[in-house]
C-alpha cells in the first residue's frame, strides 16, 4: 500500500510542474539555436558559475548517493564520506590544473582531447569504452537504484518506477545542455531541502527516544552511542577495510577515482567546457563547497537509520524479499517517518537527484556518440540540424537500453543487501586507472605517445581484470604482511579495489613512460598541447575560497580520524 498521502503527491506535482515549466521556458528562449550542436550538447557560453556548480552536484548526487551512499553509511559509517569530502579537494585541483588545459586548447569532449593529444584510434577506442561504461554501469545503476527507492517509498511497482523515471529524464534531456544546467539549479535546491528534512527527522527521533529534544542532542547521542560509525580511516582489522582500505582514501586509490571522475569524465566536465575560465573555475569552487555539505544529507541519514534499526525500528522495512537486511533501504525507511507534505518534499528531492543524473548521463552519451563517433567516423559533413536530431534519438535509445539492463541485471548486481554505491565504484575502477594515467601524462608530459596511451587504455583494463580475479587462481595471503591483501571474510585473500586501482595506475604510468621513451628514440613524434605557466594562475577570490575548503577538510579529518 502507498505510504504517501494526498498532500505528498501535491508537493511532488508542484515540483514536477515547476521543473517542467522552467525547462520549457529555457528551451523556448534558446530555440533560435535549436540546431546548433554546441549549444545543444554544451550550452556554450550560456551557463553562469552558479548554474555550472549546481549542475555538477545535481548530476553527481543521485540514487547512488541518496540510496547507495546512505546504505554504505548504514553499514560502514562516516568513512564513506571520503568520496564526498575528497571530491571537494579534487574539484579545486581540476579547476586549477585541468580546466585551463581544456579551455586553452578548445577541448569540448574527452575523446576530442585524446584525438588532439594522441590520435584518432585512441580517441575512438575510449569513446566506445565510455559509452559502454556510461550505459552498462552508470545509467543502469542510477535508474535501478532510483526506482528501488521510489518503489519503497510510494508503494508503486518497481518496473513502473523505472519507466516513469526514464520518461521524465528523457523529457528534460531532449531540451539540451542549457535546459539541463538551469533546471539542475532547482533540482539542487530541492534535493538539499529534502535531504536536510530526512536528516532532521532522524536526529530528532533519536533525541526523543532518549528523552531529549533537538537535532543537536540527537547528533550528540548518535556520535556517542554509535561511535564506531564515526571514524574516517579504518584499521586493517575493521570488517569494512576491503571497501575503504585505511590511508588509501588519503594517499592512494581514492585520488585516482576522484580525479578521473571529476577531471577526465565527459559526464562531469561537460558542464564547464562551454564557459570561460573565470566562470568555469568559480563554478567548480561552488561545487566544492556544496560537496562539503553532502554528507549531512546523504550519510547522516544512513547512520541515523543504523542507530534506529539497532533500537528496534525498521525491522520489516529494511528486509529484502529473501529476509536479509538490505542496506539500500536505509534512506527510504527513514523517509517513511516524515510528516505528510515534508515526505512529499523529500520524495521530490530524491526524484530530482535521480532525474538530474539520468539527464546529465544521457546527454553525455549523446554528445560522445554524435560528436566523437558519428561525425568523425560515419558522417563528417553532417549538418548541425542532423547532429542535434540524432542526439535526441541517441538519448532515447540509451535510456531504452538502460531500462532493459535494469530489468535484466539490476536485482542481481545491486539488490538483496548489496551495496549499490560500492558496485559502481569498483566496476568504474576497472578502467579509471588507465584512463587517468593517459590523461595526466597527456596533460603534462609532451613525450607521451599514442602507443603508450593505447597501452594505458587496454593494458590498464586487462591488469585490473587480472588483479580482480587473481585470488581465484592463487592464494595471495603472502601479500598480507606488507598490506597488499586481506581476508575478505571467506578465507580468500583479495586486494582491496582502491589499492588495486593504485597498483594498476602505477603499472600504467611506468608502461607509458617506457613505451614513450622507446617511441621517441625511434623518431615517433608526440602531439603536445598548448600549455604555459600563466594558465594556472588563479584569482585572489578563488585562492581564498580554496584555502577555506582545504581548512575545513583538514579539520574534519583531524576530528573524525
310/330 Cα distance (integer angstroms) = 12
For the chain, the domains span: 47-423, 429-530
- What does the pLDDT read at residue 27? 62
- What does the pLDDT read at residue 341? 74
What kind and span of H or E run contains 487? Answer: strand 486-487
Contact residues for 216 (Cβ-Cβ < 8 A; gap 6+)? none
CA atoms in the 13 A half-sphere facing the CB of 445: 18
- What does the pLDDT read at residue 484? 63
- Contact criterion met (CB below 8 Å) for 439 and 153: no
Segment 455-469, tens digit of pLDDT: 998 999 899 888 888
166/139 Cα distance (integer angstroms) = 10
> End-to-end distance of the chain based on CA atoms, in angstroms?
43
- What does the pLDDT read at residue 43? 47
- What does the pLDDT read at residue 323? 63
In this structure, are strands 493-494 and 486-487 parallel, antiparallel, or unpaired?
antiparallel
- What does the pLDDT read at residue 56? 79
- Between the alpha carbon of residue 442 and those of residues 114, 116, 464, 516, the distances in Å are 8, 10, 21, 11
- What does the pLDDT read at residue 139? 84
Percent of the chain with pLDDT over 90: 17
- What does the pLDDT read at residue 88? 94
- Between the alpha carbon of residue 338 and those of residues 205, 343, 373, 520, the distances in Å are 10, 5, 47, 64
3-state secondary structure of 36: coil
pTM comes to 0.80
327/67 Cα distance (integer angstroms) = 8
For the domain covering 47-423, report its CATH number: 1.20.1730.10
Q: Which of 552, 101, 554, 535 has its CA nearest to residue 285?
A: 552
Output the average pLDDT for the chain: 80
| Contacts by residues 392-395 (CB-CB < 8 Å, ≥ 24 positions apart) | 392/174, 392/366, 394/365, 394/366, 394/369, 394/370, 395/170, 395/173, 395/174, 395/362, 395/363, 395/365, 395/366
157/416 Cα distance (integer angstroms) = 17
- CA 336, distance to chain mean position in Å, is 26
- What does the pLDDT read at residue 2? 46
C-alpha cell, 61: 548526487
Residues lower than pLDDT 50 in the chain: 1-2, 32-34, 36-37, 39-44
CA angle (20, 25, 26) in 5-degree steps = 100
Amino acid at each position: 500500500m502507498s505510504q504517501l498521502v494526498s498532500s505528498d503527491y501535491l508537493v511532488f506535482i508542484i515540483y514536477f510542474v515547476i521543473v517542467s515549466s522552467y525547462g520549457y521556458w529555457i528551451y523556448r528562449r534558446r530555440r533560435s539555436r535549436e540546431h546548433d550542436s554546441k549549444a545543444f550538447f554544451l550550452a556554450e557560453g550560456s551557463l553562469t558559475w552558479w548554474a555550472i556548480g549546481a549542475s555538477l552536484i545535481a548530476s553527481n548526487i543521485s540514487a547512488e548517493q541518496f540510496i547507495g551512499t546512505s546504505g554504505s553509511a548504514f553499514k560502514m559509517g562516516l568513512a564513506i564520506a571520503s568520496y564526498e569530502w575528497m571530491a571537494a579537494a579534487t574539484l579545486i585541483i581540476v579547476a586549477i590544473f585541468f580546466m585551463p588545459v581544456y579551455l586553452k586548447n578548445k577541448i569540448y569532449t574527452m575523446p576530442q582531447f585524446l584525438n588532439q593529444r594522441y590520435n584518432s584510434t585512441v580517441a575512438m577506442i575510449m569513446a566506445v569504452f565510455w559509452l559502454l561504461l556510461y550505459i552498462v554501469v552508470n545509467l543502469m545503476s542510477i535508474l535501478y537504484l532510483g526506482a528501488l527507492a521510489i518503489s519503497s517509498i510510494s508503494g508503486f511497482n518497481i518496473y513502473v518506477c523505472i519507466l516513469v523515471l526514464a520518461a521524465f529524464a528523457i523529457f528534460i534531456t531532449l531540451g539540451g545542455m542549457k535546459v539541463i544546467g538551469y533546471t539542475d539549479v532547482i533540482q539542487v535546491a530541492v534535493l538539499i531541502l529534502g535531504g536536510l528534512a530526512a536528516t532532521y527527522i532522524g536526529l530528532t527521533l533519536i533525541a526523543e527516544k532518549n528523552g531529549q529534544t533537538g537535532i543537536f542532542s540527537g547528533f550528540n547521542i548518535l556520535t556517542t552511542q554509535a561511535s564506531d560509525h564515526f571514524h574516517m580511516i579504518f584499521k586493517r582489522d575493521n570488517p569494512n577495510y576491503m571497501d575503504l582500505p585505511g590511508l588509501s582514501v588519503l594517499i592512494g586509490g581514492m585520488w585516482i577515482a576522484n580525479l578521473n571522475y571529476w577531471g577526465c569524465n565527459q559526464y562531469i566536465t561537460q558542464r564547464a567546457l562551454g564557459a570561460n575560465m573565470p566562470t568555469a573555475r568559480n563554478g567548480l569552487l561552488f561545487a566544492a563547497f556544496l560537496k562539503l555539505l553532502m554528507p549531512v544529507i546523504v550519510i547522516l541519514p544512513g547512520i541515523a537509520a543504523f542507530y534506529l534499526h539497532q533500537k528496534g525500528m525498521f525491522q520489516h522495512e529494511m528486509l529484502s524479499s529473501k529476509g536479509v537486511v538490505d542496506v539500500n533501504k536505509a534512506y527510504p525507511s527513514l523517509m517513511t517517518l516524515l510528516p505528510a507534505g515534508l515526505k512529499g518534499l523529500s520524495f521530490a528531492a530524491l526524484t530530482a537527484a535521480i532525474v538530474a543524473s539520468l539527464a546529465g548521463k544521457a546527454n553525455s552519451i549523446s554528445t560522445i556518440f554524435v560528436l566523437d563517433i558519428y561525425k568523425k567516423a560515419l558522417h563528417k559533413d553532417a549538418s548541425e540540424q542532423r547532429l542535434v536530431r540524432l542526439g535526441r534519438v541517441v538519448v532515447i535509445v540509451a535510456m531504452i537500453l538502460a531500462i532493459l539492463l535494469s530489468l535484466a541485471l539490476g536485482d542481481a548486481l545491486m539488490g538483496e543487501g548489496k551495496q549499490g554505491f560500492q558496485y559502481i565504484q569498483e566496476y568504474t575502477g576497472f578502467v579509471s586507472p588507465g584512463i587517468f594515467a593517459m590523461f595526466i601524462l597527456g596533460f603534462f608530459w609532451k613525450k607521451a605517445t599514442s602507443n603508450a596511451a593505447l597501452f594505458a587504455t587496454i593494458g590498464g583494463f586487462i591488469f585490473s581484470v587480472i588483479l580482480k580475479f587473481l585470488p581465484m587462481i592463487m592464494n595471495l595471503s603472502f601479500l598480507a604482511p606488507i598490506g597488499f591483501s586481506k581476508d575478505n571474510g571467506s578465507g580468500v585473500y583479495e586486494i582491496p579495489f582502491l589499492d588495486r586501482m593504485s597498483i594498476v595506475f602505477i603499472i600504467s604510468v611506468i608502461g607509458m613512460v617506457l613505451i614513450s621513451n622507446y617511441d621517441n628514440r625511434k623518431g615517433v613524434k608526440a602531439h603536445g598541447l598548448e600549455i604555459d605557466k600563466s594558465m594556472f594562475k588563479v584569482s585572489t577570490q578563488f585562492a581564498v575560497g580554496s584555502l577555506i575548503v582545504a581548512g575545513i577538510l583538514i579539520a574534519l579529518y583531524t576530528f573524525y580520524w
